Amino acid sequence: MTKIEWCNETINPIQDSIKGESGRGYHLPFDGRKAEFELIQSELEKLAKWKKPRSIFVQSMGDLFHEDMPFDLIYAITKLAQTHTAYHTDHHTYLFLTKRHDNLIKYIDYSRWNEKPERNVYLGLTVCTQQEWDDKGKLFMQIPGNKFLSLEPLLEEIKLKGSGCQWCFGSGVNPASGTPCPQCFDIQGVILGGETGPKARPMHPDWVRSVRDQCEQAGVPFFFKGWGEWGHGSQYSELKKVKRWEWAGEGHAAAIMARIGKKAAGRILDGSTHDDLPWIV
């Protein structure tokens, strides 16, 4: 089991053999040397032992598509999801999440993923700002098969329409029908969450509502992971429990937010939880 709300399990089958670090991904420092990776078979063996289908976040403690990661090691993992193989592990759903869209695109070409995307694999991209989405989204959306977005931590409002989309020219609307553009919203799920940790920044409630509403309009499943360390200040009358106050956003639209901790802030948005993802049963 895992504490990650949007999956059943995690595995970390690739390890940096020099330091024993898992993955070398999101927050591991560069030290000027080439990483040396090894495949941890005991992690992969878990997949066959789990008889009941599960959603599995692969390499949760790092970025599988780190620029130093050999593609043959990535392929050794992704082939376990393939159907009609002797591994008997294709009953699971595999979730791959990266910040490095350029390396993901290179791997797609290397593995010939375009020829047959696996039905039980979801490729995810993490973006936190509008600029990141504008820079990475166009190429990411061209990948065939199942895709999802992780907007965590969400640091500003993001409009998911494709700024470089040749179908709708960035309007986000199908010019023929007036419905959401099928190219801009060719994703199977959006996960959104606030920032956690000692330096966490507050997340404006309207940023969250905007993404929720975009997903609802486009028919895209939406999962709200939580507010992070901050809750909307107007909801907290017990001031002694508030560690700090801070504004989210700018100008007249700014919202006062209270730092109360992840558990207290929770994951309720406008009176409801949002747990809609295609791999969640």
* pLDDT tens-place string over residues 176-228: 777 767 666 789 999 999 999 999 999 999 999 999 999 998 889 999 999 99
Whole-model pTM over 0.75: yes
Question: What pLDDT is stored for residue 84 in this prediction?
Answer: 55
Question: Taking each helix axis from N to C terminus, what angle separates 130-141 and 101-111, rounded to the nearest 10 degrees?
Answer: 10
State the average pLDDT for the chain: 85
In a domain, residue 83? The reply is yes
Distance CA 92, CA 118 (A): 12
* Lookup: tokens for 55: 């959603």
Evaluate whether 246 touches 202 at the Cβ level (below 8 Å): yes
Strand ordering across the sheet containing 230-232: 230-232, 255-259, 244-248
In a domain, residue 275? The reply is no
Question: What pLDDT is stored for residue 136 in this prediction?
Answer: 94
Single-letter residue type at 265: A
In a domain, residue 200? The reply is yes
In a domain, residue 240? The reply is yes
Domain that holds residue 158: 9-265
The rounded Cα 117 to chain-centroid distance in angstroms is: 19
In a domain, residue 110? The reply is yes
CA-wise closest residue to 123 among 90, 151, 145: 145
Distance CA 203, CA 256 (A): 10
Instruction: Give the lowest-confidence range in 34-38, 56-60, 264-268, 269-273.
Output: 34-38
Domain count, the chain: 1
In a domain, residue 91? The reply is yes
In a domain, residue 202? The reply is yes
In a domain, residue 117? The reply is yes
